[in-house]
């Protein structure tokens, strides 16, 4: 069977074309969406789902911040507050952060970036979406029927002895773990077996490398949190005493099991974000990525070394100082991998042709936040200062710098970058830049005061606090309203763009990423013809000309 | 482009790929597709290993704290029943491997017989486990707050042994049940004649899963019964 | 300099010897982070202007790093990170190694208060009196869930675990009052589980302690033990009561005679050889472990007949017994030649 082969260099563009029959309308009816095997539709359904869970987690966050505007009880009671921060953490981590970038953009872009027609196991892909919905529904049932108050970390023996019903939330988290495992498994096999001829490992887009590394973590680490939720649940319901010192159990063992997953989990959250950033910086500086191999290998490095660093959450848990030292030095190594990436991303700008757009602004924000979030992580890993900072707002600020500052900047950048590909329409760049400014400024205003509050000694999970922390808390709450405003703005203009946006055409950014070499929106089968891949992605040169090679 | 709905098995457009109805539309050949299936199953087995690893960690930690209790408690377990169970599982692994070998040679009838035998072994395993559990309920050798086994009262941490015992063997038994369900499904398809010399990958994958279930027991048995 | 940095960073008072150490390292990390971020940021801004797109769909060169560049870029952060690790780890080991001459206080966290007990002094809820310029060691445990004892002004923190003792030591440098906060979520009033450390100049502290013990002060702080019928007395006296009530003295003598179990006289910090051949020091950890799991480490020459007291001794009971054992010191002063090198002063 012969098919026409497209040349690697696209023809000069005429007016942008909207692909009339595409994956969105190829099959009609709700049933066709619910039974789809198309990775793109699954990605879109994940997108709608995570937007809703992000909204829910955000509402919990705003309730927490409003309560904290005064050192006394402000408008909710202590038990309600404790549930609010617990649910904010659980919903954000398990229902949003873990599935977001892999579920939405991993699903949508991975096959396109590999020249494939779908992921390796399309039915497992659909199943992972269903399991995500079921797990989320169980967690939401838990939220409605009283909710959990143990903190998202649900340490024993508090979690096993609290009168609040933790069980539905734990069960929900357990079920969600399967969704994560199935997604990761699918992506690993896709990368190994479905690369188009011409796309070797060293020519894969860096987003694929990032998703691959993430998937390894998902597959290996998630079972351990499954076990932990199972054990805590059984103990709560059955009185087994696995972690109960009164029956000979060890509560610190629970911490080890919990963090063995939860530390690599943060890399599940941040690696895809880094992958997105590699794509964005190359596309908007119109340049090959500086140090492709190092970025690819450092992703694997983070995934591997990240498995051995979990004890840095437990420096003052009573574990030995020898263990503490081991975990600390390993955490430093992970920091080095991140530093390499930052230098390489900035290096990509050198001799580039930078186009300032909303994704690029998010890239700038991302770089700022990952440097400070990362460095405060290194500072925490230096153990002796962590004695003061552990379980204070310093840690809260650190992880929000990475999770909101870095990951959500990347998520927003990804949305704006790939929106034209996914939906065939463009959004209003002016509004996007205004919203980006609100987000970046609002974010700083929210979380920088929290670093200072942590330095000053304000512990986490505090419903009431000593008066001297009031100013910082008020500042943080004000910042959070700016941040929330930015998110609402984005939602509005994106919906507008979906309904009434201008036609984007196949490649409005003129990006040389592989996923742009098909119509916008893509047809159901992804590619109308078999493509050749003679060059690395993001090689920007004049047609017919040999590119200039520079070595630094 | 033709539409493709979710079909019951591997399914796809037979015509577009010239013949093999099992070849999915996004794979270029059965060889790649089978390789992908195997890789996927091995990754899944990896997740199961990690799941049990946490429990083995718990076992080592508590054995370290309460080595007297653990040593004494293992003598109270029925070595006979445990050994029989081990033999039963190892045999079942052998028969499932033989079933795979048969179906690969095109002998579905033999495969069906061997698969049936494997499933019966699983049932036997569960029955024997049931007998052991029943003994424990009678003796009061139970986890956590249910523990009232007089013979082990003098040992601090004795209840912990039974907590670990029930958690590990319980989770393992659950996996035996899941494995049985998988094998029953494979058996159905074998009887229906779905498999032949060219297509037998579900038997292979089901067998792999069963081997894992067996392997976990091979580690559990010495740790709980022998030392 | 120290004060400028401290106020920029919103750090509280430095009221302990550890605080000063840790703040130095903090400033070092902070300064290097700020400086390097500024440099990287500046580079990005320069590139941003110099290399902006001049025409649509402009092409660009392919720029690759050399191996030397990559290694440099890896080495620089790595060297800083490792340097910080080394200093941080040394400080941490210092923090987790109490000196020999500490004044010990038993601390028990429970929802939602801190209880303090001095070995030969009063008990208190919520307020911990300590002398300045003397090392103090806290032996922490919890009655229910995990709590964490945190004094921001001292920069010290340690989790208080149920069923176990953890330790934290500090040396306060400035008399004053410093807040204690719970730093591990423990339920409804976690955010109200506060306390206060009252640091007094050494002489004043000694006076206070004497008066407390004599019961002369009208505001004698005494909680009377934990939840039980009020016991007014020192931990040592309480420990003796527990020892008699629980039957310990049936097997352990107080006179130096080995009986069914080793004698308690001079037991504390005695070097004992176990039946496995290993040598241990009978410190607080060993003594408490022996009450809970007596068959784990049997002293050579004794039979493993001691029953376990798990569930029969509360945490305060165990602490009291340990203090009682510690108080049993004989007047054995022997004149033995030193086994180690002896310092001979130089003769003039």
Q: pLDDT digit string (tens) for A523-539?
A: 999 998 889 998 889 98
Q: What is the pLDDT of residues A104-132, one digit of tens each?
A: 999 999 999 999 999 999 999 999 999 99
Mean pLDDT over each residue of chain C, to the nearest integer: 87
CB contact, 8 Å: C307 with chain B?
yes
Min Cα–Cα distance to chain A from B157, Å = 6
Range ranked top by mean pLDDT from A291-295, C229-233, C264-268: A291-295
Percent of chain A at pLDDT > 70 equals 97
Contact C295 B66 (CB under 8 A): no
- Count CB atoms within 10 A of the CB of residue A321: 17
| In contact, C70 and C77? CB cutoff 8 Å | no
Q: How many CA atoms lie within 13 A of C205 on its CB side?
A: 20
Reduced to 3 states (helix: H, G, I; strand: E, B; else coil), residue B21 is coil
DSSP bridge partners of C97? none
Entry field: residues in chain C? 348
Closest partner residue to B68 (CB to CB) among C292, C295, C310 is: C295
| In contact, A194 and A119? CB cutoff 8 Å | yes
Mutate: best of A387, A470, A476, A551, partner C, most C CBs <10 A: A387
Mutate: best of C285, C289, C292, C293, partner B, most B CBs <10 A: C293
Q: Which token pair is A49?
A: 């789902």
The ranges assigned to domains in chain A are: 30-516
Residue C1, Cβ density class (10 Å: 0-12 exposed, 13-18 middle, ≥19 buried)? exposed
- A138-147, A370-379, C300-309, C335-344: least confidently modelled range: C335-344
Q: Which helix (H) or strand (E) holds A3?
A: none
Q: Which token pair is A146?
A: 């009283």
The pLDDT of residue C345: 60
Distance separating alpha carbons of residues B33 and B19, to the nearest angstrom: 15
Min Cα–Cα distance to chain A from B125, Å = 24
Q: Which token pair is A41?
A: 């539709």
Q: Which helix (H) or strand (E) holds A15?
A: none
- A245-249, A334-338, C107-111, C230-234: least confidently modelled range: C230-234
- Using pLDDT thresholds of 50, 70 and 90, give the confidence band for residue A4: very low
Contact A193 B55 (CB under 8 A): no
Residues in C touching B156 (Cβ below 8 Å): 292-293, 295, 308, 310
Q: Chain C: residue nearest B158 by CA?
A: C293
Contact C296 B154 (CB under 8 A): no
Contact C88 A385 (CB under 8 A): yes
The pLDDT of residue C332: 58
Say whether pLDDT at A6 is over 60: no
Contact C89 A459 (CB under 8 A): no
The pLDDT of residue C320: 87
Distance separating alpha carbons of residues B140 and B146, to the nearest angstrom: 7
Q: C276 or A32, which is more confident?
A: A32
Say whether pLDDT at A295 is over 50: yes
DSSP bridge partners of C140? C107, C166
- Using pLDDT thresholds of 50, 70 and 90, give the confidence band for residue C215: low
Contact A381 C58 (CB under 8 A): no
Distance separating alpha carbons of residues A314 and A334, to the nearest angstrom: 17
Sign of CA dihedral A76, A78, A79, A81: positive
Segments of chain B with pLDDT less than 70? 1-19
The pLDDT of A239-255, averaged and rounded, is: 90
Concatenate the DSSP letters of all residues of A239-262 into one string: ---SS-GGGT--HHHHHHHHHHHH
The ranges assigned to domains in chain C are: 2-49+66-96, 103-214, 235-333
Min Cα–Cα distance to chain B from A538, Å = 26
Residue A155 dihedral angles phi and psi, to the nearest 5°: -60, 140
Please tell me whether the overall predicted TM-score, pTM, comes out greater than 0.80 for this model. Answer: yes
Closest partner residue to A223 (CB to CB) among B50, B57, B166 is: B50
The pLDDT of residue A217: 97
The pLDDT of residue C232: 55
Closest to A384 in 3D by CA, of C333, C18, B87, C91 = C91
Residue A241 dihedral angles phi and psi, to the nearest 5°: 75, 20
Residue B69 dihedral angles phi and psi, to the nearest 5°: -60, -45
CB contact, 8 Å: B36 with chain A?
yes
DSSP bridge partners of C114? C109
Cα separations (Å) of B63 from A374, B60, B68, B158, C293?
39, 5, 8, 10, 13
The pLDDT of residue C218: 47
Q: Where are the beta strands (DSSP E) in chain B?
A: none
| In contact, A96 and A46? CB cutoff 8 Å | no
Distance separating alpha carbons of residues B55 and A427, to the nearest angstrom: 51
Distance separating alpha carbons of residues A183 and A368, to the nearest angstrom: 30
Q: Chain C: residue nearest B154 by CA?
A: C307
- Using pLDDT thresholds of 50, 70 and 90, give the confidence band for residue A20: confident
The strand order across the sheet containing C135-142 reads: C123-125, C113-117, C103-110, C135-142, C166-171
| In contact, A461 and C185? CB cutoff 8 Å | yes
The CATH class of A30-516 is: mainly alpha
The answer to whether the peptide bond before residue C188 is cis (omega within 30 degrees of 0) is no
Fold of the CATH domain C103-214: Immunoglobulin-like (2.60.40)
Q: Chain A: residue nearest B69 by CA?
A: A248
Closest partner residue to A250 (CB to CB) among B3, B44, B61 is: B61
| In contact, A345 and A370? CB cutoff 8 Å | no
- Using pLDDT thresholds of 50, 70 and 90, give the confidence band for residue C344: low
Q: Chain C: residue nearest A472 by CA?
A: C10
Closest partner residue to C82 (CB to CB) among A252, A332, A339 is: A332
Contact A384 C62 (CB under 8 A): no
Say whether pLDDT at C252 is over 70: yes
The pLDDT of residue A274: 97
Distance separating alpha carbons of residues A355 and A509, to the nearest angstrom: 9
Closest to A58 in 3D by CA, of A361, A501, A484 = A484
Contact A193 B27 (CB under 8 A): yes
Contact C44 A78 (CB under 8 A): no
Cα separations (Å) of A67 from A91, A448, A478?
19, 19, 12
The pLDDT of residue C224: 43
- Using pLDDT thresholds of 50, 70 and 90, give the confidence band for residue A265: very high
DSSP bridge partners of B196? B199
CB contact, 8 Å: C295 with chain B?
yes
CB contact, 8 Å: C308 with chain A?
no
Say whether pLDDT at C67 is over 70: yes
Distance separating alpha carbons of residues C267 and C326, to the nearest angstrom: 8
Cα separations (Å) of A122 from A2, A62, A500, B24?
26, 38, 32, 10
Mutate: best of A125, A220, A249, partner B, most B CBs <10 A: A249
- The terminus-to-terminus CA distance of chain A in angstroms comes to 46
Distance separating alpha carbons of residues B99 and B110, to the nearest angstrom: 7
- The terminus-to-terminus CA distance of chain C in angstroms comes to 46
> Which option is the CATH number for C235-333: 3.30.479.30, 3.40.50.1820, 1.10.760.10, 2.60.120.380?
1.10.760.10
- Count CB atoms within 10 A of the CB of residue A164: 18
Torsion of CA A95, A101, A102, A104, to 10 degrees: 90
Domains of chain B (ranges plus CATH)?
44-226 (1.20.120.80)
Distance separating alpha carbons of residues C113 and A188, to the nearest angstrom: 51
Long-range contact pairs involving C247-251 (C-beta distance under 8 Å, separation at least 24): C248/C321, C251/C305, C251/C306
The pLDDT of C62-79, averaged and rounded, is: 93
Say whether pLDDT at C210 is over 50: yes
Strands C271-273 and C156-160 come out as: unpaired
Closest partner residue to C191 (CB to CB) among A453, A464, A547 is: A464
Q: What is the pLDDT of residues A453-473, one digit of tens each?
A: 999 999 999 999 999 999 999
The pLDDT of residue B19: 65
The pLDDT of residue C265: 87
C170 alpha carbon, distance to own chain's centre:
8
| In contact, A231 and B62? CB cutoff 8 Å | no
| In contact, C280 and C267? CB cutoff 8 Å | no
Entry field: residues in chain B? 227
The pLDDT of residue C74: 93
DSSP bridge partners of C129? C198
Residues in C touching B147 (Cβ below 8 Å): none
Say whether pLDDT at C233 is over 90: no
Contact C85 A344 (CB under 8 A): no
Distance separating alpha carbons of residues B67 and C196, to the nearest angstrom: 42
Distance separating alpha carbons of residues C115 and A289, to the nearest angstrom: 59
The pLDDT of A333-352, averaged and rounded, is: 94
Q: How many CA atoms lie within 13 A of B59 on its CB side?
A: 22
Reduced to 3 states (helix: H, G, I; strand: E, B; else coil), residue B55 is helix
The DSSP code for C121 is S
Distance separating alpha carbons of residues A382 and C81, to the nearest angstrom: 8
R_g of chain C computed on alpha carbons: 28
CB contact, 8 Å: C276 with chain B?
no
Distance separating alpha carbons of residues C281 and C267, to the nearest angstrom: 9
**Phi-psi map region of C104: left, alpha, beta (phi>0 left; psi -120 to 50 alpha):** beta
Residues in B touching C307 (Cβ below 8 Å): 154
Q: What angle do CA B80, B81, B87 make, to 5 degrees?
A: 90
Reduced to 3 states (helix: H, G, I; strand: E, B; else coil), residue C135 is strand
Say whether pLDDT at A9 is over 70: no
The pLDDT of A169-189, averaged and rounded, is: 96
The pLDDT of residue A7: 38
* Contacting C residues, span 214-233, partner chain A, CB-CB under 8 Å: none
The pLDDT of A48-69, averaged and rounded, is: 97
Residues in B touching C293 (Cβ below 8 Å): 65-66, 156-157
| In contact, B195 and B202? CB cutoff 8 Å | yes
| In contact, A233 and A170? CB cutoff 8 Å | yes
Closest to A100 in 3D by CA, of A258, A276, A220 = A276
The pLDDT of C139-162, averaged and rounded, is: 95
The pLDDT of C77-84, averaged and rounded, is: 96
Distance separating alpha carbons of residues A351 and A282, to the nearest angstrom: 12
- Using pLDDT thresholds of 50, 70 and 90, give the confidence band for residue C227: very low
Closest partner residue to A26 (CB to CB) among B3, B44, B160 is: B3
The pLDDT of residue C19: 96
R_g of chain B computed on alpha carbons: 22
Contact B65 A26 (CB under 8 A): no
CB contact, 8 Å: B31 with chain A?
no
Neighbours of chain B (3+ CB pairs under 8 A): A, C
Distance separating alpha carbons of residues A382 and A324, to the nearest angstrom: 10
Contact B167 A244 (CB under 8 A): no
Mean pLDDT over each residue of chain A, to the nearest integer: 93
């Amino acid at each position: 069977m012969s098919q026409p082969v497209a040349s690697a260099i696209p023809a000069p563009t005429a007016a942008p074309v909207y692909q009339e029959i595409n994956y969105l309308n190829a099959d009609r009816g709700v049933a066709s969406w619910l039974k789809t095997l198309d990775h793109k539709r699954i990605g879109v359904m994940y997108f709608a789902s995570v937007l809703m869970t992000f909204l829910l987690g955000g509402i919990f966050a705003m309730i927490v911040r409003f309560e904290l505007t005064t050192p006394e009880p402000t408008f909710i009671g202590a038990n309600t507050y404790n549930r609010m921060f617990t649910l904010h953490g659980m919903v954000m981590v398990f229902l949003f952060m873990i599935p977001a970038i892999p579920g939405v953009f991993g699903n949508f872009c991975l096959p396109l970036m590999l020249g494939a027609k779908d992921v390796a196991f399309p039915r497992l892909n659909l199943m992972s979406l269903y399991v995500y919905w079921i797990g989320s529904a169980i967690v939401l049932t838990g939220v409605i029927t009283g909710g959990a108050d143990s903190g998202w970390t649900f340490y024993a023996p508090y979690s096993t002895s609290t009168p609040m019903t933790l069980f539905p939330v734990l069960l929900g988290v357990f079920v969600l773990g399967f969704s994560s495992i199935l997604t990761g498994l699918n992506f690993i096999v896709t990368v190994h077996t479905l690369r188009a001829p011409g796309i070797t490992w060293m020519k894969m887009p860096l987003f694929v490398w990032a998703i691959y590394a993430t998937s390894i973590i998902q597959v290996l680490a998630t079972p351990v949190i499954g076990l932990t939720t199972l054990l805590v649940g059984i103990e709560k319901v059955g009185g087994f005493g696995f972690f109960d010192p009164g029956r000979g159990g060890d509560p610190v063992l629970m911490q080890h099991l919990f963090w063995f997953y939860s530390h690599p989990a943060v890399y599940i959250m941040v690696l895809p974000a880094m992958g997105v950033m590699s794509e964005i910086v190359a596309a908007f500086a119109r340049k090959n990525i500086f140090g492709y191999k190092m970025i690819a290998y450092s992703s694997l490095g983070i995934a591997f070394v990240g498995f051995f660093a979990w004890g840095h959450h437990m420096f003052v848990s009573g574990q030995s100082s020898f263990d503490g030292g081991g975990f600390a030095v390993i955490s430093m190594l992970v920091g080095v991998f991140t530093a390499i990436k930052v230098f390489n991303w900035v290096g990509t700008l050198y001799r580039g042709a930078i186009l300032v757009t909303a994704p690029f602004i998010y890239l700038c924000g991302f770089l700022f936040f990952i440097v400070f979030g990362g460095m405060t992580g290194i500072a925490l890993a230096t153990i002796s200062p962590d004695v003061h900072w552990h379980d204070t707002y310093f840690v809260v600020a650190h992880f929000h710098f990475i999770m909101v500052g870095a990951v959500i900047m990347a998520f927003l950048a990804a949305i704006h970058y790939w929106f034209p590909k996914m939906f065939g329409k463009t959004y209003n760049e002016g509004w996007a830049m205004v919203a980006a400014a609100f987000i970046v400024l609002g974010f700083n205003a929210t979380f920088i005061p929290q670093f200072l509050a942590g330095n000053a000694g304000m512990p986490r999970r505090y419903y009431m606090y000593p008066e001297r922390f009031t100013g910082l808390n008020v500042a943080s709450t004000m910042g959070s309203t700016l941040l929330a405003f930015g998110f609402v703005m984005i939602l509005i203009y994106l919906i507008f763009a979906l309904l009434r946006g201008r036609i984007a055409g196949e490649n409005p950014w003129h990006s040389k990423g592989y996923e742009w070499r098909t119509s916008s929106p893509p047809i159901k089968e992804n590619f109308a013809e078999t493509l050749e891949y003679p060059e690395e992605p993001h090689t920007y040169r004049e047609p017919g000309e040999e590119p200039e090679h520079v070595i630094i | 482009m033709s539409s493709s709905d979710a079909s019951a098995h591997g399914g796809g457009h037979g015509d577009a790929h010239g013949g093999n109805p099992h070849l999915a539309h996004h794979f270029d050949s059965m060889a790649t597709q089978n390789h992908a299936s195997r890789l996927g199953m091995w990754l899944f087995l990896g997740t199961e290993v990690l799941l049990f690893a946490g429990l083995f960690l718990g076992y080592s930690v508590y054995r370290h704290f309460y080595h007297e209790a653990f040593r004494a408690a293992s003598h109270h377990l029925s070595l006979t029943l445990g050994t029989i169970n081990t033999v039963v599982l190892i045999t079942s692994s052998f028969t499932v491997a033989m079933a795979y070998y048969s179906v690969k040679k095109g002998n579905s009838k033999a495969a069906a017989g061997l698969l049936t035998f494997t499933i019966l072994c699983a049932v036997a395993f569960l029955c024997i486990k049931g007998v052991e559990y029943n003994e424990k309920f009678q003796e009061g050798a139970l986890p956590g707050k249910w523990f009232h086994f007089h013979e082990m009262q003098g040992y601090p941490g004795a209840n912990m042994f039974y907590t670990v015992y029930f958690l590990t063997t319980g989770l393992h038994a659950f996996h035996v049940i899941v494995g049985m369900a998988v094998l029953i499904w494979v058996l159905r398809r074998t009887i229906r004649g779905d498999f032949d010399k060219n297509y037998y990958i579900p038997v292979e994958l089901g067998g792999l899963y069963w081997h894992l279930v067996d392997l976990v027991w091979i580690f559990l048995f010495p740790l709980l019964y022998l030392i | 300099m120290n004060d400028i940095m401290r106020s920029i960073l919103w750090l509280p008072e430095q009221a302990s010897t550890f605080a000063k150490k840790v703040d130095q390292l903090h400033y070092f990390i902070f300064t290097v982070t700020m400086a390097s971020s500024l440099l990287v940021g500046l580079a990005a801004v320069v590139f941003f202007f110099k290399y902006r797109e001049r025409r649509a769909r402009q092409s660009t060169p392919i720029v690759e790093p050399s191996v030397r560049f990559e290694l440099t870029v890896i080495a620089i952060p790595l060297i800083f990170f490792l340097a910080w690790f080394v200093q941080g780890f040394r400080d941490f080991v210092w923090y987790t190694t109490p000196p020999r001459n500490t004044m010990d206080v038993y601390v028990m966290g429970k929802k939602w208060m801190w209880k303090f007990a001095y070995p030969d002094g009063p008990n208190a809820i919520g307020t911990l009196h300590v002398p300045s310029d003397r090392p103090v060691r806290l032996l922490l445990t919890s009655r229910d869930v995990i709590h964490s004892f945190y004094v921001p002004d001292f920069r010290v923190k340690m989790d208080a675990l149920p069923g176990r003792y953890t330790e934290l030591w500090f040396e306060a440098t400035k008399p004053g009052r410093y807040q204690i906060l719970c730093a591990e979520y423990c339920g409804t009033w976690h955010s109200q589980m506060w306390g206060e450390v009252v640091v007094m100049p050494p002489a004043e502290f000694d006076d206070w302690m004497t008066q407390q013990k004599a019961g002369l002060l009208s505001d004698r702080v005494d909680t009377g033990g934990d939840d039980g019928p009020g016991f007014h007395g020192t931990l040592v006296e309480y420990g003796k009561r527990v020892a008699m009530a629980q039957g310990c003295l049936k097997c352990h003598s107080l006179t130096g005679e080995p009986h069914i179990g080793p004698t308690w006289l001079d037991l504390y910090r005695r070097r004992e050889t176990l039946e496995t051949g290993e040598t241990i020091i009978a410190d607080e950890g060993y003594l408490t472990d022996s009450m809970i799991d007596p068959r784990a480490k049997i002293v050579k020459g004794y039979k493993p007949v001691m029953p376990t007291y798990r569930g029969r001794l509360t945490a305060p009971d165990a602490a009291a017994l340990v203090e009682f054992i510690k108080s049993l010191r004989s007047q054995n002063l022997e004149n033995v030649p030193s086994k180690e090198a002896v310092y001979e002063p130089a003769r003039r």
